[in-house]
Structure 1
């Protein structure tokens, strides 16, 4: 009987140059760029324009991100079961195509209920693509030596930063060049076109990745080995999304120009890309929750800087600190799962982690939005700092275990 090459162990990394691995990881990262950076994070740039044109309160604006987070939760729960029934690469690419088309559809209506449904569906398709892409990237790094697996994972997850960078460069000219009542619609058109076009570049990289082995029948993910990481990741979801949702509105309320906001957003995205490389050695060496705790402390510091100083220097330092760390948190928890569990349990673990993360994101925008309506945007950002600090303490409880 001939063995299916897609289910065979990946070739030893010694036979493939690191440059090739990096190119494949960057190709997969374009999927993360669409699913996360364009489908989720770019909404923070569109929020001021949509709120003004559609007369939204902060709570309503936060509710739209909650809709996306609910969809993200649903997609995270569906990803592992769907991955057992459908070809992972087709599922990955199909989720990306759906995400792009749903963003294009978001430009067609100002109805709150319809936009809620579209944001929910965008979150669902994006989460399926993100989880399956993470499994493909994790599988692709299997068998590598030293810190290479963590670096390759970091590159994949840094794709969200690329999406933030692209949206930071592309959206402000559109939002300030179009009529105010329709500027946000053109913003969604730009995001949808970028996401849809990126699939053409993802395809060659996806074809180079080995398909993960199926889980044994009846085996389900057990949270025991990752309990502290799951809790910390859920808190991270609450804390980080408050910052990402309202930082643009906070800067605008303080009188920041469109160029300044564009520079801030682009710097945040560029820092996220750099973070995929910068934190790789630490993630490769440190076991347990220490690396995750360090990243969360840096995030809390970055989120707090704009509250301590109104200067441009503090604003840009916040973008660098927050940007270089927030996507590396995803790398850290995925690396923890990879170290603690055998390969056939990775899809279930990444799906469970993403589900907990998404549950946190459901609560974060609503809490931050309600606090912002009552005490100003500062109150919502202060909540972000506090929750991220608590998450750092929780992460330290993760033991340094490894399943061989």
Structure 2
């Protein structure tokens, strides 16, 4: 299959599920808190539902993708994102918002494993690493779109989510037409993989690293915008621009595949984990200063997308016989960490404030630098 035929719709589907349906929540959270009268603890608990739904659906997606191929799960992801965004745009209270969050968060779990499988099926082997990391960088496109939407629509978060829902529907239609069918009526075949981590060399290290990184990034995704709003005198467009910076710099993460080829997986992982930990500490140092906060946003955006690309390649390398499982394991544990981290961050901020909390999460990120892929995984 032609590289762009799969990668371009893949980028937009990741943009819709991860960027619009999932990570836009942190940008719109202050307005939702005010409108729905939610406390930081309640919003933190609702935010954790993104990750809980993700944990559940990524397992379902891996099983179905392994058995049936990627098409059905990719389309299910788009439908789930559309339903979640629609519910969030019409919610009268925190309970319906939570239901929308479950659908929106579930879409991200559904979409990741099948795209890994699709790439392994239909993209030439020498291009698979780049295809995976570029599709993964679609998160950045979604974040940029969500930030731009917030700037244009100011605090009207319901209309913002409704527009995101319409965009997601159009992206779903594009993927419906672009993703090939497999089966008896098609000339494309699908070979089932193995659903097991038993005896897989390197699986334990991958799991531990993903879990710690998930914990360390949860505070930034959920509370960074609220942090700078409380700490400084930012206008609405400056607060939204902070989110756009995360997305714009996240595009740099699409080059993680190229860096892995040149410097190796171990080097790329440690570089990304140091950067992502540094972002939280920098933000805590001077959140009222727009240059410092934007610098932190740029570092976080580029390092998060970069690092998830590294985890993706690392996982596929460890689970070489099943690309969907290789994506499921690190992304699942990343989400488990974010469930823990999001709830912990809401509680810690309520008790000790933003500055102390973000420093703690930066320290947690530094711990991850000591856990990474072995040197023998480099450039194989």
Could you say which residue in structure 2 is the equivalent of 1:184? Answer: 157
Matched, 1:300 2:272: no
Could you say which residue in structure 2 is the equivalent of 1:275? Answer: 253
2:348 to 368, 371, 384: 371
How many angstroms does 1:286 deviate by? 4.0
4+ runs deviating over 4 angstroms: 138-142, 208-212
Unaligned segments of structure 1, at least 5 residues: 1-10, 12-19, 177-182
Go from structure 1 to structure 2 and tell me whether the alpha carbon gap of 1:364 and 1:213 turns closer, same or farther (over 3 Å shift): same
How many angstroms does 1:403 deviate by? 12
Matched, 1:201 2:174: yes
CA deviation profile, 1:85-132 (whole Å, cap 9, x unmatched)? 444212211211221122111222233233223212322232111221
1:328 to 306, 313, 325: 306
Tell me how many residue pairs correspond in the alignment: 372
Once residues 227 and 209 of structure 2 are traced to their aligned partners in structure 1, the CA distance between those partners, rounded to angstroms, is: 26
Go from structure 1 to structure 2 and tell me whether the alpha carbon gap of 1:142 and 1:402 turns closer, same or farther (over 3 Å shift): farther
Could you say which residue in structure 2 is the equivalent of 1:394? Answer: 371
Unaligned segments of structure 2, at least 5 residues: 183-187
SS of 2:371 mapped into structure 1: helix
TM-score with structure 2 setting the length: 0.90
Once residues 266 and 24 of structure 1 are traced to their aligned partners in structure 2, the CA distance between those partners, rounded to angstroms, is: 26
How many angstroms does 1:141 deviate by? 4.3
CA deviation profile, 1:157-191 (whole Å, cap 9, x unmatched)? 00001000000001233233xxxxxx332232122
Could you say which residue in structure 1 is the equivalent of 2:185? Answer: none
CA deviation profile, 1:278-314 (whole Å, cap 9, x unmatched)? x332222344533211101111122222222332221
Once residues 121 and 245 of structure 2 are traced to their aligned partners in structure 1, the CA distance between those partners, rounded to angstroms, is: 31
Matched, 1:54 2:36: yes
SS of 2:293 mapped into structure 1: helix
Could you say which residue in structure 2 is the equivalent of 1:240? Answer: 217
Could you say which residue in structure 2 is the equivalent of 1:72? Answer: 54
Could you say which residue in structure 2 is the equivalent of 1:347? Answer: 324
Once residues 274 and 246 of structure 1 are traced to their aligned partners in structure 2, the CA distance between those partners, rounded to angstroms, is: 23
How many angstroms does 1:401 deviate by? 3.7
How many angstroms does 1:22 deviate by? 4.4
Once residues 388 and 212 of structure 1 are traced to their aligned partners in structure 2, the CA distance between those partners, rounded to angstroms, is: 39
Once residues 181 and 235 of structure 2 are traced to their aligned partners in structure 1, the CA distance between those partners, rounded to angstroms, is: 44
How many angstroms does 1:329 deviate by? 1.3
Could you say which residue in structure 2 is the equivalent of 1:3? Answer: none
Question: Contact (CA 8 Å) 1:26, 1:159: kept in 2 or not?
Answer: no
Could you say which residue in structure 1 is the equivalent of 2:131? Answer: 152
TM-score with structure 1 setting the length: 0.85
SS of 2:197 mapped into structure 1: coil
CA deviation profile, 1:357-395 (whole Å, cap 9, x unmatched)? 111111111101111111222233223211211111122
Question: Contact (CA 8 Å) 1:36, 1:130: kept in 2 or not?
Answer: no
1:251 to 228, 240, 243: 228
Question: Contact (CA 8 Å) 2:261, 2:379: kept in 1 or not?
Answer: no
Once residues 119 and 127 of structure 1 are traced to their aligned partners in structure 2, the CA distance between those partners, rounded to angstroms, is: 13
Which deviates the most, 186-195 or 164-173? Answer: 186-195
Once residues 236 and 294 of structure 1 are traced to their aligned partners in structure 2, the CA distance between those partners, rounded to angstroms, is: 13
Once residues 323 and 207 of structure 1 are traced to their aligned partners in structure 2, the CA distance between those partners, rounded to angstroms, is: 32
Go from structure 1 to structure 2 and tell me whether the alpha carbon gap of 1:220 and 1:135 turns closer, same or farther (over 3 Å shift): same
Question: Contact (CA 8 Å) 1:158, 1:275: kept in 2 or not?
Answer: yes
Once residues 122 and 289 of structure 1 are traced to their aligned partners in structure 2, the CA distance between those partners, rounded to angstroms, is: 33
Once residues 28 and 164 of structure 1 are traced to their aligned partners in structure 2, the CA distance between those partners, rounded to angstroms, is: 15
Once residues 299 and 189 of structure 2 are traced to their aligned partners in structure 1, the CA distance between those partners, rounded to angstroms, is: 35
Question: Contact (CA 8 Å) 1:41, 1:164: kept in 2 or not?
Answer: yes
